[in-house]
């Protein structure tokens, strides 16, 4: 079975482990049977522009990724990527980031609503159910906006907020949002952008994937075909973790292939 992990972070992410060099991630990928790896360090454009996060050291990260790519040629399909956060909030600046280097794989993620802290910072245990649904609805609105940005290959963790709602032990019924989720899926399909299945919540023991099986099935029903899978590892030991579990979910939802990037182009590989 071909194992693809297209969402990983190195020490060049503000929250990456100090030992997470691109080289260390590649070594771990080979040890665990990952054949396609993408390194996708954080660049949340709002955090960069507003001076909230440590700036992404794009040149240094690129150099280290490129050196790893050369070293592991013939043994590992390594995509030199980036997780570009909140691109719609500063589209010109976000486009300039993508022009700095010929990124082979770009994850578009929404980590926070405009002028609101990261979803991980909010106190869901203190919120009413209606409040959580209202935030989720706003998240979908901004996701739709973000998908107009050019240059994205996949949409990262569509249901990011669900990770924290689950941690706060709050139930969440996606059925209230089917219409808008369907609109997101239709826009992905129209724009040839994949949907990411992020399995970090599986290896963290939350018992859910982002998105859930229910929403993977909805994507399939809508005619969705392009799916990428990522561990969202922030340290070498988590590279490739739970990718097989993700594949099992995808098969249950009716998918038999996932998308990878080869030579700058989409390619599909079997997960059966
Ligand atoms: Zn993310
Ligand atoms: Zn990430």
CATH code, domain with 186: 3.20.20.140
Report the separation in Å between the CA atom of 210 and the middle of ligand 2, taken as the mean of its atom positions.
12
Looking at the whole model, is its pTM more than 0.95?
yes
Report the separation in Å between the CA atom of 255 and the middle of ligand 2, taken as the mean of its atom positions.
23
Kindly report the length of the chain: 272
pLDDT tens, the chain, 272 aa long? 899 999 999 999 999 999 999 999 999 999 999 999 999 999 999 999 999 888 999 999 999 999 999 999 999 999 999 999 999 999 999 999 999 999 999 999 999 999 999 999 999 999 999 999 999 999 999 999 999 999 999 999 999 999 999 999 999 999 999 999 999 999 999 999 999 999 999 999 999 999 999 999 999 999 999 999 999 999 999 999 999 999 999 999 999 999 999 877 899 999 98
37 contacts 77 by C-beta, under 8 angstroms: yes
Q: Which 3-state string (H, E, C) describes 77-143?
A: EEEEEEEEECHHHCHHHHHHHHHHCCCCEEEEECCCCCCCCCHHHCCHHHCCHHHHHHHHHHHHHHH
Ligand approaching nearest to the C-alpha of 8 = 2
The boundaries of the domain holding residue 181 are 3-270
* Number of compact structural domains in the chain: 1
| DSSP reduced 3-state for 249 | helix
Question: What is the per-residue pLDDT for 37?
Answer: 97
Ligand approaching nearest to the C-alpha of 109 = 1
**Enclosing H/E stretch for 24:** helix 22-31
Report the separation in Å between the CA atom of 231 and the middle of ligand 2, taken as the mean of its atom positions.
8
Residues with CB under 5 A from ligand 2 (ion): 83, 232
183 contacts 144 by C-beta, under 8 angstroms: yes
């Amino acid at each position: 079975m071909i194992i693809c992990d297209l969402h990983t972070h190195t020490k060049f992410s503000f929250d990456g482990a100090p030992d997470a060099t691109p080289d260390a991630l590649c070594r771990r990928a080979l040890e665990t049977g990952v054949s396609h790896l993408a390194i996708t360090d954080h660049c949340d454009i709002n955090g960069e522009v507003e001076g909230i996060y440590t700036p992404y050291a794009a040149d240094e990260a690129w150099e280290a990724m490129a050196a790893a790519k050369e070293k592991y040629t013939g043994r590992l399909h390594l995509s030199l990527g980036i997780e570009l956060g909140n691109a719609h909030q500063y589209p010109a600046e976000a486009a300039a980031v993508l022009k700095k280097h010929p990124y082979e794989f770009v994850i578009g993620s929404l980590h926070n609503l405009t002028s609101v802290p990261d979803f991980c910072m909010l106190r869901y245990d203190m919120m009413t159910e209606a409040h959580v649904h209202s935030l989720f609805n706003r998240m979908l609105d901004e996701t739709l906006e973000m998908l107009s940005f050019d240059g994205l290959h996949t949409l990262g963790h569509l249901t990011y907020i669900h990770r924290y709602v689950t941690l706060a032990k709050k139930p969440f019924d996606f059925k209230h949002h089917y219409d808008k989720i369907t609109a997101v899926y239709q826009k992905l399909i129209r724009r040839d952008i994949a949907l990411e299945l992020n399995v970090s919540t599986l290896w963290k023991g939350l018992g859910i994937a982002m998105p859930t099986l229910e929403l993977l099935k909805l994507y399939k029903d809508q005619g969705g075909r392009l799916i990428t899978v990522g561990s969202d590892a922030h340290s070498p030991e988590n590279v490739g973790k739970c990718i097989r579990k993700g594949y099992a979910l995808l098969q249950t939802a009716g998918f038999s292939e996932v998308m990878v990037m080869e030579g700058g182009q989409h390619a599909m590989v079997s997960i059966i």
